[in-house]
Amino acid sequence: MASSDYSARHLSVLEGLEAVRKRPGMYIGSTDSRGLMHCLWEIIDNSVDEALGGNGDEISVVLHRDNSVEVRDRARGIPVDIEPKTGLSGVEVVFTKLHAGGKFGSGSYAASGGLHGVGASVVNALSERLDVEVDRDGKTWAMSFHRGEPGIFADSGEPRADAPFTPFENKSELRVVGKVGKNVTGTRIRYWADPQIFSRGTTFQTDELFARARQTAFLVRGLGIDITDERGDEPAHELFRFDGGIAEYVDYLAPDTALTETWRMTGSGTFTETVPVLNDGGAMVPTELTRDCEVDIALRWGTGYDTVFRSYVNIIATPKGGTHQAGFEAGILKFLRAQVELNARRLKVGTGANSTEKIEKDDVLAGLTAVLTVRLPEPQFEGQTKEILGTPAVRNIVAAVVAKTMAERFASPKRDDKTQSALVLEKIVAEMKSRISARAHKETQRRKNALENSSLPAKLVDCRSSDVANSELFIVEGDSALGTAKLARDSEYQALLPIRGKILNVQKASVSDMLSNAECASIIQVIGAGSGRSFDLATARYGKVIIMSDADVDGAHIRTLLLTLFFRYMPDMIRDGRVYAAVPPLHRVIVMNPGTKPNETIYTYSEQELTGVLAALKKSNRRYQDPIQRYKGLGEMDADQLATTTMDRQHRTLRRVQITDAVNAERVFELLMGNDVAPRKDFIIAGSDVLSRERIDV
């Protein structure tokens, strides 16, 4: 049990960290799994920053069964000597003082992911227990903390977060617990997240950890990141190490066939900024400093139209962009606009101020896969979560590097460079013309009177309401289900579109094949918002699109094909939460009541639920009609049954389709629905052992 007696020393240690515990969202974004993962990466990034400086080339992360996590490196080790201003050891300063550390105020790191000096101390404040061991000066030094307060845990056996804890009263002790070789250095940190802070059930996400470790290994060439998850029945283990750098990362990220090789753009620039610097007297003095900014970019254009862009500052991801991304987009757009003007005759585009054919940013970014990294000391981020770079001078530096290196590429006398440069210009012009054509078509369609010239398919059974938010489009399987659904629907706001069996697998097919497929074209036409780059969610005709297929293997296959169509060509429908899957029942149980009391109907949605219902009926000595009705398809239901179970808003169950991780979703769709058969075969074989034969509907 932690001591309740606090001295003035305790108050001085906990004063800053208590603010973290009261407002954790300010420092880690949230107190769910996202915030938990943010804490872990604050610790890992410290080791990565050491590797960036040439200290250590391997980091190990272990997720223990007791929900603690341990991070180990073989870098220089946290300083163990006394910091003169506080009188505390370097270890205690790092873990108990906000805005303190080697990266704060131009310390030991020229460029690092940490810059506010709060990462390790925030993790400590939000941990029920944190243990740190440092190998340095031939010794192993150790210190433990309980919710930010240093002290001693009385462990018996394995370390536990709930072990008896005694805080230091007068002076902290950095204990010597072992000896190491003179040249052996490194740090080991193990901590238990505080259940008083984090939401119940919050756990470390292994897939997210693997993804981030892979990303970091791409960004830091030669760094190995070893991840072990001991929590499952079988430990999961991955080692990530890549020698190709961000060029290899681009090839990994690219979702389409390459149109160009992967191009590298590197350069640097300097800028000055005035920052407050702490002088020897303890006062903050405005000082003008000259900063160096290094830029490294890898990119390639592909045959598709999706854009994959990743930006980083000192290897920290900036998913919401910032000045470096703005500089990249401005530089490449300005350069390519000028190139299109120079080659206007060959590309057959108009020129001059009155021309309506202007290259826009989306035309340039279509089909582009790019990784942008910049490195600079003390970058200005918007908040501790570091999602947006705010340093203004970086914009012009990145734009200048892009313009210079692109000019060298386009002026190159090499045949491959000339060919690829011409392909890029042709693709950009084609995207521009496609955008202009789509906009003109949409404006023309809006002018038409729907009663005079309706382009909607004849098989659409539309609803009467024009209220988009309240309307629903049911995509039903076959004419049999359509007939029943017509009687079961509410014609005021529920529309029906039948499809014939299994539609085209659009993951394999080209855009032209997809548009020439009658079923795919009908769905896109009925929704009315276009497809691909021209998709405009604001013009969609229905607030919900509900896939209503049979509850069997064929129905699941049809649902997968339809979801592939939405994911590939109308992903904003899924992102906005407008795509649903209906959940029809599998069984209908008629419970017979005695006398004149009407029989009771129970619908079940799985074999397990049916078994439970029948067991409960037998236990209460209630009779039911035998055999149990098993619905093989929606056409076997009458209208009342279909309305009650699947279409009536008061009683139905819908599954909303969501994209929580678009990158992994893209890979899964490509694995299950793409052209490459071998990985899909391996996936099926690997999963065959865990599949119950009873689940196969034959």
Q: Rounded distance, CA 636 to CA 588, Å?
A: 11
Tell the burial category of 693 from Cβ atoms under 10 Å away from its Cβ (0-12, 13-18, 19+). exposed
* Cα dist from 124 to 24, 121, 130, 165, 482, whole Å: 12, 5, 6, 15, 60
CB 148 within 8 A of CB 165: no
Active site residues: 477, 550, 552, 554
Q: Rounded distance, CA 595 to CA 362, Å?
A: 71
Query: What is the number of residues in the chain?
Result: 698
Q: Rounded distance, CA 622 to CA 603, Å?
A: 16
DSSP 509: S
Q: Where are the beta strands (DSSP E) in 501-644?
A: 544-548, 579-582, 587-592, 600-604, 623-624, 629-630
Instruction: Give the pairing type, strands 472-477 and 544-548.
Output: parallel
pTM of the model: 0.60
Identify the bridge partners of residue 548 per DSSP, sorted by sequence position: 476
| pLDDT at residue number 300 | 96
321: left (phi over 0), alpha (psi -120 to 50) or beta: left
Q: Which two tokens stand for residue 293?
A: 């900014």
Q: Rounded distance, CA 472 to CA 468, Å?
A: 8
How crowded is residue 241: how many other Cβ atoms within 10 Å of its Cβ?
16
CB 534 within 8 A of CB 434: yes
Q: Rounded distance, CA 1 to CA 146, Å?
A: 11
| pLDDT at residue number 115 | 33
| pLDDT at residue number 614 | 92
Q: Which two tokens stand for residue 504?
A: 């085209």
Q: Rounded distance, CA 92 to CA 104, Å?
A: 16
* Cα dist from 436 to 80, 430, 442, 447, whole Å: 64, 10, 10, 17
Q: Position 635: which residue type?
A: G
DSSP 649-689: TTT--EEE---S-HHHHHHHHHHHHSS-HHHHHHHHHHHGG
Q: Rounded distance, CA 120 to CA 101, Å?
A: 9
3-state secondary structure 53-114: CCCCCEEEEEECCCCEEEEEECCCCCCCCEECCCCEEHHHHHHHCCCCCCCCCCCCCCCCCC
| pLDDT at residue number 8 | 47
Q: Rounded distance, CA 277 to CA 106, Å?
A: 9
What domains can be seen in the chain, in order of their start residue? 8-243 (3.30.565.10), 258-438 (3.30.230.10), 468-584+656-695 (3.40.50.670)
Q: Rounded distance, CA 238 to CA 371, Å?
A: 23
| pLDDT at residue number 459 | 87
Residue 591: what are its φ and ψ, rounded to 5°?
Answer: -90, 120
| pLDDT at residue number 442 | 60
Among candidate residues 203, 225, 200, 198, the one with its CA nearest the CA of residue 213: 225
Identify the bridge partners of residue 267 per DSSP, sorted by sequence position: 295
Q: Rounded distance, CA 641 to CA 629, Å?
A: 12
Q: Rounded distance, CA 165 to CA 152, Å?
A: 6
Among candidate residues 9, 25, 186, the one with its CA nearest the CA of residue 88: 9
Alpha helices in 192-271 (DSSP H): 206-219, 245-253
Grouped pLDDT means (10 residues each) for the chain, 698 residues: 46 66 84 91 89 88 94 92 85 82 43 51 93 94 93 91 89 91 93 92 90 92 92 89 92 89 95 79 80 95 90 89 95 95 86 71 94 92 76 95 96 93 91 77 51 65 90 89 89 92 77 77 88 84 92 82 87 91 90 85 89 91 88 83 89 85 64 75 77 59
Among candidate residues 487, 269, 247, the one with its CA nearest the CA of residue 398: 269
Q: Would you give the distance in Å from CA 619 to the centre of its chain? A: 48
258 Cβ contact list (under 8 Å, min separation 6): 300, 301, 302, 303
| pLDDT at residue number 424 | 94
Q: Would you give the distance in Å from CA 446 to the centre of its chain? A: 36
b/e burial code for range 124-163 (CB count within 10 A of at least 16 → b): bbbbbbbbbbbbbeebbbbbbbbbbbbbbbeeeeebebeb
